[in-house]
Structure 1
Amino acid sequence: MDNILNLDRMPKELKLILELLKEGNEQYLEKYSEGLCRDIDWNLFIKLTLHHRVYPAINFKIKMLNADVVPTYVVQFLNRQYKRNTFQMLRLSAEMEKVSLLFSKHQIQTLFLKGPILAKCLYGDISLRTSSDLDFLIPIQDLAKAEDLLVSLGYEKDDYIHTVLNDWKWRHHHVTYIHPHTEIKLEIHWRLHPGPGKEPCFDELWKRKEKSSITSYPVYLLGTEDLFQFLVAHGARHGWSRLRWLIDIQQIVKRKIDWVKLYTLFTTYHNPYVGGQAIILASQLLNVRVEKKMKPLLISKRSQKLAQEAVFYLETMINLHTDSVPEYVSKYHSRHLFSLMSAQQKLFFTASLLHPYPEDAEMLPLPKKLHFLYFPLRPVLWAWRKTRKDELRKGRT
C-alpha cells in the first residue's frame, strides 16, 4: 500500500519507536542506527514507550541498534520495566485462573477479553504485552452472583453507576472491582462496548469461543473473528492513542482469519470502514502486509480519512483516560467518535440523547414513580444545564 498518511507532525522519537516495532527491518535498523538516533530526546523516548505501553517489545528491538548510539540508562530502564511487567502478568495469570475456576464452579460462563490470555494468544508470550487489569465478559443475568463471588475473594466495587430507568444496561458496559491488598483490578463486562449499539449476544460469542492453554484450568477467550472486531472497535474508540492496541492488530492478522466472516460481522454489528482504518494504520505505521482478502474492508476512501484523523492522537501523548483532557482534544474526540459510526449507529446515538441521563435526576430529583416525566423534561433540563455551564465559563473568564 502506498504511503497515504501525513506523519509530518509526529515527533521523531515516536517515529523511532515505530521503526523499532516494524517487523522484518532488522538489517535496516542496524545499517541506519546512527541516522535514526540522531538528535533523539531519550527522556521523551522513554516517556513515549511508557505512554504507548510498548516497552516490552522495545526492550528487545532496541538491542538491534548499534550499542554506541543508545544511552546505557535507556537500555537499563527498558529492561527493568520488562521484568516488572513479566511479574505483573504472572500475577494476573494466577488471578485469572482463580476467578475462572470459581465462576465455573458456580455455573458462570466467562470469556476473558484482554490481559495475559490475549498476550499468550497474539504474542505467544505473556511478557511481551502489558496489562494493568483483567477484563472478562459474562452474561448480564449473572452480574449479581459474580459480585457476591468477588466480594467473597475480598474485592471491593470501585465505581458505582448512576442510572435512570435502567439505562446502565445499554449505556455502560463494565463495572470495576479492586482488591485492597493485592491491588489487582478486575473489570466485569456485560457488553463488549458501551452503548447504544448492536453487538453479538453472549451465547453467540460463547459458541465461537476459543480455549487457551495459558493455565492448567481451562480459560476461554473470544473466537478469532470476534476478537479482531473487538480489538478494532476498542482501539478506534480510543483513537488508537496507544500503539499497544495497534500492535495487537499487527499480531492478530498473522492468525488464520475468515475474512468473509469478519466482513459480515463488521457490516452486521459495527462499521467496515473502522476495520479498514485499523488495517491502514497497521500497514502504514507497522509494515503490516495488506493482502487481497483484506480488500473488502478497504474499498472506501472513508477508511483512509479515518486513519488520518487517528494520527492526531499520535502527534502528542494524548491520554483519554484522565479527568483533565484538554477541551480541544475532547471536542476533536467527540467529532471523531461520531465519524466512526455507521448510519445505524448514528441513529441509535441520536435517539439515545432523548433518554434521561443521571444528571437530569440530579438537577431535578423526582420520586421513582414519576421518573417517566424525565422524558418530556429532558430538553428543558439539558438547556438549563448548558446555560449554567456557559455562565460558569464566562465567570471564570
Structure 2
Amino acid sequence: MDNMLNLDRIPKELKLILELLKEGNEQYLQKHSQVLCRDIDWNLFIKLTLHHRVYPLINFKIKMLDGEIVPTHVVQFLHQQYKRNTFQMLRLSAEMEQVSRLFSKQQIPTLFLKGPVLAQDLYGDISLRTSSDLDFLIPIQHLEKAEKLLLNLGYEKYDYIQTVLNDWQWRHHHVTYIHSNKEMKLEIHWRLHPGPGKEPSFDELWKRKTRSSITSYPVYLLGTEDLFQFLVSHGARHGWSRLRWLIDIQQIMKKKIDWARLYILFKAYHNPYVGGQAIILASHLLNMRVEEEMKPLLISRRPKELAQEAVFYLETMVNLHDDSVPAYVSRYHSRHLFSLMSAQQKIFFIISFLYPYPEDAETLPLPTKLHFLYFPLRPFLWAWRKSRKDVLRRGAE
C-alpha cells in the first residue's frame, strides 16, 4: 500500500519525537542518535512534548539515545513531568472510583471514556498517558440525577451551553463540572460526539462494555471496537493535532480487534475513510503494521488524502481549544471537518442549519411558547445578522 505522506514542513524537533515514538525503532535510534539530534532546539523539543501530551512516553524513550547528546536539563524536566503526571493519574483514579461507586448505587450506568481506564487498557500503566479530567458517558435521562450527585460532592457546573428548542440534546455532547478545592474537572457525556449524526445507543454500548482492572470497585469502559471508533472519530475531529491521540491508535491496534465488525460500525455511524486515515497516520508516522484485515478501511485513495490533510496540524502547535486560533487555521479546520464526513453526515450537517440556533433567539427574543416560529424565521434572521456583520466589517476597514 502506498501510504507515503509529505512531512517536509514538520519541524525537525517533532520528527525526533516521532522517531522516539515509532514501534520497534530501538536499534535505529541507537545507531543514528548523532544525526537525529543534530541542531535540535531542545526548548522547542520540550514545548512539543508538552503540547502533544507525550512526555511520559518520551521520558522513557529518550534513554535510548546516546546519553551525552541529550542535555541534562531536558532529561530532568521530562522526569519531573512524568512524576507529576503519575500523581495526577492516581488522583483521577481515586475520583473515578468514587464517582463510579456513587453512580452505581444510584443505578446510573456509567462508561468511562478516557482518563486512567484508557491508560490502563491501552498502555498497561496509568503513568504512561496524560489526562487532565474524567470523561464518562451516561444515558441522557439520568443527567439531572447525576448533576445533583456531583453538586452534593462539591462540584460546580460550568454552564456555557446556550440552547433553543432543546437543541443542546443533539448539538452538544457533554457538560463540564469543576471542583475548585480538589482542582478536578469532570465531563458528563450523553453523546460520544457532538451532533448532528447517528450514534450507537447507550444500551448497545453498555452490552459491549469492558470491565477495567484498574480499581477494586467495578469501573467500565467501551468495548474494543466501540473504543477504536470513538478514539478515531475524536482524534479526527481535532485534526490529530495532539500526537497523544494517535499514540492511542497505535496502542489499540496492538489489541485483538474484530475488524469486520468494526467496518460495519464505521459504515453505520461514521465515515470508513476516517478509520483509514487513522491507520495510515499510525502506519507512516509510528511504524504500525497494516494487517490484511484492515484493508476494507483503505479501499481508495481518500483515506490517504485525509491523512495528508491532517499533517497540516503537525506542522505547527495548533491548539483548537484556544480562543486565539488564527483565522487561517479556523478556515482550514472547518473545511477539513466537512471533508471527514460521509455523504449521509454531510446531509445531516446541512439540514441542521435549518434548525433554529440560540443566536436566533438573541436576534429576535420571543416568548418560549412562540419559539416554534424560529423555524420559518431562521433564514431572515440569518440574513439580518450577516448583513450587520458585513456593515461592521466595512466600517472597520
- What secondary structure, in the 3-state scheme, does the structure 2 residue paired with 1:187 have? strand
Relative distance call for 1:158 and 1:19 in structure 2 (3 A) is: same
1:45-60 aligned within 5 A: 45-60=45-60
2:314 maps to 1:314: yes
Q: Deviations over 1:343-396 (max 9, x none)?
A: 100000000000000011011101111111111111111111122222333333
2:211 maps to 1:224: no
- Please name the residue that 1:205 is paired with: 205
Once the two structures are overlaid, the 10-residue window that deviates more, 33-42 or 152-161, is: 152-161
Paired amino acid for 1:135: D
Q: Deviations over 1:60-101 (max 9, x none)?
A: 000110011111111111000000000000000000000000
Q: Deviations over 1:167-213 (max 9, x none)?
A: 10000000000001011000000000000000000000000000001
Q: Distance in 1 between the 2:2 and 2:265 partners?
A: 27
2:138 maps to 1:138: yes
- Please name the residue that 1:330 is paired with: 330
- Please name the residue that 1:279 is paired with: 279
- RMSD, matched Cα: 0.8
Relative distance call for 1:396 and 1:68 in structure 2 (3 A) is: farther
Paired amino acid for 1:256: K
Q: Is the 8 A contact 2:3 2:304 kept in 1?
A: no
Once the two structures are overlaid, the 10-residue window that deviates more, 383-392 or 70-79, is: 383-392
- Please name the residue that 2:169 is paired with: 169
- What secondary structure, in the 3-state scheme, does the structure 1 residue paired with 2:245 have? helix
- Please name the residue that 2:9 is paired with: 9
Paired amino acid for 2:122: L
- Please name the residue that 1:262 is paired with: 262
Paired amino acid for 2:22: K
Paired amino acid for 1:237: R
**TM-score using structure 2 length:** 0.99
Once the two structures are overlaid, the 10-residue window that deviates more, 55-64 or 154-163, is: 154-163
Paired amino acid for 2:175: V
Q: Distance in 2 between the 1:135 and 1:48 partners?
A: 24
Paired amino acid for 1:255: K
Q: Deviations over 1:21-66 (max 9, x none)?
A: 0121111111110100001111111110000000000000001100
Paired amino acid for 2:360: D
Q: Is the 8 A contact 2:3 2:280 kept in 1?
A: no
Q: Distance in 1 between the 2:41 and 2:392 partners?
A: 40
- Please name the residue that 1:395 is paired with: 395
Q: Distance in 2 between the 1:158 and 1:79 partners?
A: 33
Q: Distance in 2 between the 1:9 and 1:334 partners?
A: 21
**TM-score using structure 1 length:** 0.99
- What secondary structure, in the 3-state scheme, does the structure 2 residue paired with 1:347 have? helix
Aligned residues: 397
Superposition deviation, residue 160 in structure 1: 3.4
Superposition deviation, residue 3 in structure 1: 4.8
- Please name the residue that 1:289 is paired with: 289
2:29 maps to 1:33: no
Superposition deviation, residue 133 in structure 1: 0.2
Q: Distance in 2 between the 1:131 and 1:170 partners?
A: 26
- Please name the residue that 1:345 is paired with: 345
- What secondary structure, in the 3-state scheme, does the structure 2 residue paired with 1:176 have? strand
Q: Deviations over 1:289-315 (max 9, x none)?
A: 001010000011110100000000000
- What secondary structure, in the 3-state scheme, does the structure 1 residue paired with 2:68 have? helix
Q: Is the 8 A contact 2:196 2:352 kept in 1?
A: yes
Q: Distance in 1 between the 2:148 and 2:106 partners?
A: 11
Paired amino acid for 1:18: L
2:245 maps to 1:245: yes
Structure 1: gaps of 5 or more residues:
none
1:59-138 aligned within 5 A: 59-138=59-138
Q: Deviations over 1:225-271 (max 9, x none)?
A: 00000000000000000000000000001111000000000000101
- Please name the residue that 2:235 is paired with: 235
Structure 2: gaps of 5 or more residues:
none
- Please name the residue that 2:368 is paired with: 368
Q: Deviations over 1:326-345 (max 9, x none)?
A: 11111110000000000100
- What secondary structure, in the 3-state scheme, does the structure 1 residue paired with 2:61 have? helix
